[in-house]
C-alpha cells in the first residue's frame, strides 16, 4: 500500500507538471545509445587506440565495416527520433525523417577521413605546444582537451547538417567527462589545442581561427544572456595564432582578438584587441 501511494503521487505529478510522454523511448533520442555511438565513431577515428576488438591487417576491414553498420543503424534511429520530435512540435510533416536521418549519417561517415585529418593537426598542435607531452599516443589516450575536441568536431558536423538535439547531447556528455564546454555551433579552425582544460567555456557563436591555444578556466562568452539575443552573434572572434592563458575571460559578439595576440591569465577582455598584442592584468 505504501508503494501504491508513492506511485499515485508520482503519476499525479506527471499530470500536474508534465513529464509523461507515452512511448518516451520512441519520442526522444536515447542518451546511452548516443554515448555508445560516440565510442564507435571514436574507434573509426583512432582504431588503434579505441577498438575493443584486436585489429590487425587481416581483420581491420571486417571490424571497420561492423562498426560502420552499427553506427548507421543506431545513429539513424536516434536522429530520426530527434527530427520527429522537433518537426512534430513545429507542425511539420515527419514522414521523411528517416530518409533525412540516414542521409545525415552517411554524410558523417563519408566525412570521417577529413575529420581525422583535422584532428591529427589538433593533436600535432598539442604535441608542439605542451612540453609535458611525450608522444602523440599519450595525447590521444589521456588528454581531456583532445577528448572534447573529438566529440566537438563530430557534433559540429551534425549541427551544420541540420541535426537537432543530438549535437548538444554529445557535447554536454563530453563536458561532463572533461569539464570542457564547447557549444556544437561554435566554429573552430584546425590545430586547436586546449591544455589542461577544466572550466573552459566556448559559446555558441564563437569563431576561432587556426593554431589557437586555450588554457584551463578560459571563457569565450557573451556580454548578455538575454533571450532576445537568440540567433545573434554574442561571443567573440579569435583570429589565427592566438594564445589565451588560464582564467582569461573574453566576452561579446563584437570583440575580436587579432592574429598573433596573447591574452594573459585572468585578463578581462570586452573590447577588440589589435593583432600581435599582449594583454595582461
* Residue 52 predicted with pLDDT over 60: no
Within-domain flag for 228: yes
- For residues 147 and 246, membership in a common domain is answered with no
- For residues 33 and 127, membership in a common domain is answered with yes
- For residues 45 and 164, membership in a common domain is answered with yes
What CATH number should be reported for the domain holding residue 97? Answer: 1.10.3130.10
Q: Note the pLDDT tens digit of each residue in 145-179.
A: 999 999 999 999 999 999 999 999 999 999 999 99
- For residues 152 and 67, membership in a common domain is answered with yes
Which range among 2-16, 208-222, 249-263 shows the weakest confidence by mean pLDDT? Answer: 2-16
DSSP letter, residue 98: H
Core vs surface per residue 240-264: b (16+ CB within 10 A) or e: ebbbbbbbbbbbbbebbbbbbbbbb
- For residues 67 and 148, membership in a common domain is answered with yes
Report the alpha-carbon distance of residue 138 to residue 140 in Å, rounded.
6
Within-domain flag for 5: no
- For residues 169 and 67, membership in a common domain is answered with yes
Question: Per the structure, how many domains does the chain have?
Answer: 2
Q: Note the pLDDT tens digit of each residue in 90-140.
A: 999 999 999 999 999 999 999 999 999 999 999 999 999 999 999 999 999
Boundary of a domain, candidates 130, 152, 181: 181
- For residues 164 and 229, membership in a common domain is answered with no
- For residues 177 and 204, membership in a common domain is answered with no
- Any residues with CB less than 8 A from the CB of 103 and at least 6 apart, and which? none
Does this model's pTM top 0.75? My answer is: yes
- For residues 134 and 244, membership in a common domain is answered with no
Boundary of a domain, candidates 154, 181, 208: 181
Within-domain flag for 18: no
What CATH number should be reported for the domain holding residue 281? Answer: 2.160.10.10
Boundary of a domain, candidates 128, 155, 181: 181
Report the alpha-carbon distance of residue 73 to residue 91 in Å, rounded.
27
Domain span at residue 85 reads 27-181
- For residues 148 and 73, membership in a common domain is answered with yes
Q: Is 18 helix (H, G, I), strand (E, B) or coil?
A: coil
* Residue 57 predicted with pLDDT over 70: no
Within-domain flag for 190: no
Residue closest to 238 by CA, chosen among 214, 265, 268, 267: 214
Within-domain flag for 98: yes
Compute the average pLDDT of residues 19-31.
70
Within-domain flag for 83: yes
- For residues 175 and 209, membership in a common domain is answered with no
- For residues 44 and 132, membership in a common domain is answered with yes
Amino acid at each position: 500500500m505504501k508503494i501504491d501511494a508513492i506511485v499515485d503521487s508520482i503519476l499525479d505529478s506527471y499530470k500536474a507538471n508534465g513529464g509523461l510522454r507515452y512511448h518516451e523511448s520512441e519520442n526522444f533520442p536515447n542518451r546511452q545509445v548516443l554515448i555508445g555511438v560516440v565510442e564507435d565513431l571514436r574507434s573509426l577515428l583512432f582504431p588503434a587506440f579505441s577498438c575493443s576488438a584486436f585489429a590487425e591487417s587481416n581483420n581491420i576491414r571486417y571490424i571497420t565495416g561492423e562498426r560502420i553498420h552499427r553506427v548507421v543503424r543506431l545513429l539513424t534511429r536516434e536522429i530520426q527520433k530527434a527530427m520527429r520530435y522537433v518537426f512534430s512540435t513545429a507542425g511539420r510533416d515527419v514522414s521523411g525523417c528517416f530518409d533525412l536521418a540516414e542521409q545525415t549519417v552517411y554524410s558523417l561517415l563519408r566525412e570521417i577521413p577529413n575529420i581525422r585529418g583535422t584532428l591529427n593537426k589538433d593533436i600535432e598542435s598539442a604535441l608542439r605546444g605542451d612540453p609535458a607531452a611525450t608522444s602523440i599516443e599519450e595525447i590521444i589516450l589521456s588528454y581531456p582537451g583532445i577528448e572534447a575536441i573529438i566529440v566537438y568536431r563530430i557534433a559540429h558536423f551534425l549541427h551544420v547538417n541540420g541535426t537537432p538535439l543530438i549535437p548538444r547531447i554529445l557535447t554536454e556528455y563530453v563536458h561532463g567527462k572533461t569539464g570542457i564546454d564547447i557549444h556544437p555551433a561554435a566554429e573552430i579552425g584546425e590545430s586547436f589545442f586546449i591544455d589542461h582544460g577544466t572550466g573552459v567555456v566556448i559559446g555558441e557563436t564563437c569563431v576561432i581561427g587556426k593554431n589557437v591555444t586555450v588554457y584551463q578556466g578560459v571563457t569565450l562568452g557573451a556580454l548578455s544572456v538575454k533571450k532576445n539575443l537568440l540567433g545573434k552573434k554574442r561571443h567573440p572572434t579569435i583570429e589565427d595564432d592566438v594564445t589565451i592563458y588560464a582564467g582569461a575571460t573574453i566576452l561579446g559578439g563584437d570583440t575580436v582578438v587579432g592574429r598573433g595576440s596573447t591574452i594573459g591569465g585572468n585578463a578581462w577582455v570586452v573590447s577588440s584587441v589589435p593583432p600581435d598584442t599582449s594583454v595582461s592584468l
